[in-house]
Homo-oligomer: A and B are copies of this chain.
Amino acid sequence: MSPNLSQRLKDSGIQPSAQRLAVAQYVLSTDDHPSADQVLAKVQSLVPMLSRATVYNTLNLFVEKGLLKQLVLAEGKVVFDPVLSPHHHFIDDDTGRIEDVPWDAIRVSDPARLEGYDVTEYMVVMRGRKLGGPRKLQKKR
């Protein structure tokens, strides 16, 4: 799966320590959009000797070096996204889950041409319910 994760970190100018590799292994290959706490829980279950500070340090470092994007799409939900190419996001109102929507699935009339603005980046953020799956528990309100 990861022919040389260590090399990938080096190429980004990151010293590949054991902790950083453990975090990278999970967060750079997930389909999810995990929060820092989720990363901590997940990686700590494999490498118990891992502190909260290191997880935050590592995630922030990865963002800084361009291996991850940080997203804030809902209240109190800062999450990390290993998909670097442009794409849109769908947020399931029932579960809170954030899903990627391929760039080509939606056509947007060139916002880069907005009068008076220099738009360097954009995405469509959608909210709603995902169809098909079993009815999920509704979030307390």
Please list the residues of chain A having a beta carbon within 8 angstroms of any beta carbon in chain B: 70, 72-78, 88, 90, 93, 101, 105-109, 111, 114, 116-132
Contact = CB atoms under 8 A, between A and B. Distances in A.
A20 B28 CA distance: 47
B74 A72 contact: yes
B101 A130 contact: no
Contacts of A130: 116-118
Contacts of A101: 114
A93 B128 CA distance: 28
A122 B105 CA distance: 14
A124 to B, nearest CB: 6
A108 B124 contact: yes
B118 A131 contact: yes
Given A93-B120, A122-B126, 14 more contacts: A72-B72, A72-B75, A108-B108, A108-B109, A108-B124, A111-B126, A117-B126, A118-B128, A118-B131, A119-B126, A120-B127, A120-B129, A121-B127, A123-B125
Contacts of A108: 106-109, 124
Contact of A124 (B93, B111, B120): B111
13 contacts: A72-B76, A88-B111, A90-B114, A106-B108, A111-B126, A114-B126, A117-B128, A117-B130, A118-B128, A120-B128, A121-B126, A121-B127, A121-B128
